[in-house]
Amino acid sequence: MKKMCQTVFIAAAAGLIGCFSFLPCELHAQSAQQIKANMKNRAPALDKLKAQGIIGEGNTGFLVVLQKTASPDDVKLVEAENADRKLVYKAIAKKEGTTVELVGSRRALQIHEIAKAGTMIQDEKGAWSKK
Amino acid sequence: MKATFHTASLLLCAVSTAALSAGCFQVKTESEIKPIEVKPIHITVDINVKVDKALEDFFGDLDDAETGKTAGENAAQ
């Protein structure tokens, strides 16, 4: 009886751990509205870093840290933004039956169009330039 | 002799008609291949359009806020 209880407990714990580890990978774990709100909150800080040339907009649709002067908090901010972007790209890729890479590269073109003057931008060949 | 000549000219006519027809068929085959070569380009464009639309649907208001900010900053300067 004791052994059975132990087995059930272990199985339940493993199931819970499994659920929580997969949740962040799915877009529906976080609502689209929540992602948008997070992006909106990060925008002012990211804009500052872009204006200083510390980060830039890569050709894959993700932010890239360009200077070593970036603080750990700056890096964390970029990672959080990129993680949210990836969730959106993944969801769109799944919906349209294409790849995350294609969605990211299409988004990069849109970002480059709306980027503020002075933002570092990576072209399709991989070269960086100031807009 | 005259009959043989007549038969020969008829045969020649038949052979030329057959040759011309074969030529026509060849042209037709080429025109049928062309749309198959163009199709993948259409599909790629279609996917890009769909993806662009989906991206605009999600990021549209965020991008508007971003460009609105730029316009405001430019006006202040």
With 0-12 / 13-18 / 19 or more C-beta atoms within 10 angstroms meaning exposed / middle / buried, residue B57 is exposed
In the structure encoding, which two tokens stand for residue A28, read together?
Answer: 């529906």
List alpha helices for A23-131, DSSP H.
32-51, 72-96, 100-114
Mean pLDDT of chain A: 85
One-letter amino acid at B8 equals: A
Residue A55's H or E segment, with its range, is: strand A55-57
Q: Are A10 and A50 contained in the same domain?
A: no
- Residue A106 at interface with chain B, using a CB cutoff of 8 Å: yes
Q: Are A54 and A1 contained in the same domain?
A: no
Q: Are A22 and A36 contained in the same domain?
A: no
Q: Are A90 and A125 contained in the same domain?
A: yes
Q: Are A25 and A55 contained in the same domain?
A: no
Three-state DSSP class for residue A66: coil
Q: Are A42 and A100 contained in the same domain?
A: yes
- For chains A and B, CB pairs below 8 A equal 49
Mean pLDDT of chain B: 71
Burial A19-28 (b: 16+ CB within 10 A, else e): eeeeeeeebe
Using alpha carbons, select from A40, A24, A54 the residue that is nearest to residue B68: A40
- Are B11 and B18 within 8 A, CB to CB? no
Q: Are A17 and A35 contained in the same domain?
A: no
Which tens digits make up the pLDDT trace of A90-109? 999 999 999 999 999 999 99
Residue with tokens 């990129």: A82
Range of the domain at A93: 31-130
Q: Are A56 and A120 contained in the same domain?
A: yes
- Residue B52 at interface with chain A, using a CB cutoff of 8 Å: yes
Which tens digits make up the pLDDT trace of B32-57? 666 666 677 777 788 999 999 999 99
Of the candidates A32, A114, A116, the beta carbon closest to that of B58 is on: A32
Q: Are A75 and A123 contained in the same domain?
A: yes
Contacts of B59 in chain A (CB under 8 A): 88, 107, 110
The reported pLDDT for the residue numbered B34 is 66
Q: Which of A111, A112, A114 to mutate to test the interface with B (most CBs of B within 10 A)?
A: A114
CB–CB contact B51 A88 (8 Å): no
- Are β-strands A128-130 and A63-65 bridged in parallel, bridged antiparallel, or unpaired? unpaired
- Counting the structural domains of chain A, the total is 2
- Residue B5 at interface with chain A, using a CB cutoff of 8 Å: no
Q: Are A63 and A79 contained in the same domain?
A: yes
The pLDDT of residue A24 is above 60: no
- Are β-strands A120-122 and A55-57 bridged in parallel, bridged antiparallel, or unpaired? parallel
- Are A65 and A75 within 8 A, CB to CB? yes
Three-state DSSP class for residue A63: strand
- Are A129 and A121 within 8 A, CB to CB? yes
- Residue B58 at interface with chain A, using a CB cutoff of 8 Å: yes
**Residues B15-20, mean pLDDT to the nearest whole number:** 62
Three-state DSSP class for residue B77: coil
Which region among A74-78, A81-85, A86-90, B68-72 has the lowest average model confidence (pLDDT)? B68-72
Q: Are A35 and A69 contained in the same domain?
A: yes
